[in-house]
C-alpha cells in the first residue's frame, strides 16, 4: 500500500521487482476542494526522485502530499486505486467522505478530525481491501474508531472538555492548526488554547521548527492562548510574529499552574497542544487529579 500523493513513497511502486513480488495498491485524495491555497513552508519533497528537477504541483493537500509531476522527465503521481472524494471536514467532530475502490464505493463517517486522518483511513481501507474485507464492514469499523493517547483525545476536567492534540513537527502542527481553525469557524467564536513547548531529548533540543509551522492560520480564531513548557517564551515570540494580539498571549512556564489557569479561564472548553514530553507531564497531572487513567497500564 503506497500513498500516491507522496512522491517519496509513490516512487517505490515503480520498482518492477516490488510490483512483481508484492503487488502495489495506491491510495490518495481526489478532491480539489481540499487543496491548500499554496505550498506550505513545511514542504519536504521539492525535487524529482528520478532526475532532480523541481516538481510541479497542481495541488497540495498536506505538506508535500498532493498532485504533482516532473516537467523534465515526466515522472508523476500514479492514479490511486483507493481514493477519497467529496470530503467534508467537520472540525473536531471528524469527517465524511466517499471512498472509491476497485470493489465499489462507500460513504465513510470518520470520528477523527483532520485531513491527515483521512489519509490514515485510506491506508486502513487499502490494507483491509487487500485482505478481502468488504467495504460495508470497513465503513462500520471506521465509524467506531476512537482517539488514542494525545491524538485528539478529549478528557473532562472540572466539567470542561480538555481536547489534547500532540504537536511535534511543522507538518503535524499545521494540520492541528487547520483543524482548530475549522472548529472555530464552525462554532462562530474564538477558542481557548494551552500550548506547551518543551525542548527535552524526546522533543528535540532544536525548536526552530516552530518557525516553519503556520501559526498565522489560527491568529484570528483564538480568544486566549497560554504558553507553557521549557520554551514558553520562544513560542510566545513566534505567536507575536505570527500576528497574534499581545493581549491574547499569556506566558507561564510551569505546566501544572499554567494548565490550571488556562482551564479556569476557558470559555467553555480548552484545546491543549503539547509537545511529546509536555504531553507525558500533562497526562501525569490528569491521572493524579483523577481525571484520566494511567495510559501505560
Catalytic residues: 206
* b/e code 137-149 from CB counts within 10 Å (16+ = b): ebbeebeeeebee
Radius of gyration of the chain (CA): 20
Angle at 155 between CA 266 and CA 109, to 5 degrees: 105
Angle at 17 between CA 15 and CA 18, to 5 degrees: 65
What's CA 240's distance to the chain center, in Å?
Answer: 23
Enter the C-alpha cell of residue 240. Answer: 507575536
Classify 188 in phi/psi space as left (phi over 0), alpha (psi -120 to 50) or beta. Answer: left
What is the spatial distance between Cα 198 and Cα 204, in angstroms, rounded to a whole number?
Answer: 8
What is the spatial distance between Cα 282 and Cα 276, in angstroms, rounded to a whole number?
Answer: 10
Q: Are 14 and 7 in contact (CB under 8 A)?
A: no
Supply φ then ψ for residue 218, to 5 degrees.
Answer: -95, -10
DSSP string, 63-87: TTEEEEE-TTT--BPPPPSEEEEEE
- In a 3-state reduction of DSSP, which class is residue 100? strand
Amino acid at each position: 500500500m503506497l500513498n500516491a500523493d507522496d512522491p517519496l513513497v509513490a516512487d517505490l511502486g515503480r520498482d518492477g521487482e516490488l510490483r512483481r513480488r508484492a503487488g502495489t495498491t495506491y491510495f490518495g485524495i481526489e478532491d480539489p476542494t481540499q487543496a491548500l491555497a499554496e505550498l506550505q513552508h513545511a514542504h519536504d519533497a521539492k525535487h524529482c526522485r528520478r532526475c532532480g528537477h523541481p516538481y510541479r504541483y497542481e495541488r497540495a493537500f498536506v505538506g508535500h502530499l498532493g498532485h504533482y509531476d516532473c516537467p523534465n522527465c515526466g515522472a508523476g503521481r500514479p492514479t490511486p486505486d483507493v481514493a477519497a472524494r467529496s470530503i467534508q471536514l467537520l472540525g473536531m467532530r471528524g469527517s465524511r467522505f466517499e471512498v472509491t475502490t476497485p470493489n465499489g464505493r462507500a460513504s465513510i463517517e470518520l470520528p477523527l478530525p483532520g485531513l491527515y486522518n483521512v489519509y490514515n483511513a485510506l491506508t486502513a481501507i487499502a490494507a483491509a481491501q487487500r485482505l478481502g474485507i468488504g467495504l460495508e464492514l470497513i465503513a462500520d469499523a471506521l465509524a467506531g474508531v476512537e482517539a488514542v493517547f494525545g491524538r485528539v483525545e478529549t478528557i473532562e476536567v472540572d466539567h470542561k472538555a480538555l481536547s489534547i492534540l500532540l504537536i511535534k513537527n511543522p507538518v503535524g502542527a499545521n494540520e492541528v492548526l487547520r483543524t482548530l481553525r475549522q472548529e472555530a469557524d464552525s462554532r462562530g467564536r474564538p477558542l481557548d488554547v494551552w500550548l506547551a513547548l518543551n525542548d527535552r531529548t524526546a522533543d528535540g533540543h532544536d525548536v526552530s521548527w516552530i518557525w516553519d509551522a503556520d501559526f498565522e492560520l489560527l491568529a484570528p480564531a483564538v480568544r486566549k492562548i497560554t504558553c507553557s513548557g521549557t520554551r514558553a517564551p520562544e513560542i510566545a515570540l513566534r505567536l507575536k510574529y505570527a500576528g497574534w494580539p499581545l493581549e491574547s498571549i499569556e506566558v507561564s512556564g510551569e505546566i501544572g499552574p499554567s494548565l490550571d489557569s488556562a482551564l479556569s479561564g476557558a470559555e467553555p472548553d480548552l484545546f491543549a497542544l503539547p509537545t511529546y514530553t509536555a504531553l507525558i507531564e500533562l497526562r501525569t497531572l490528569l491521572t493524579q487529579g483523577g481525571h484520566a487513567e494511567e495510559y501505560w497500564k
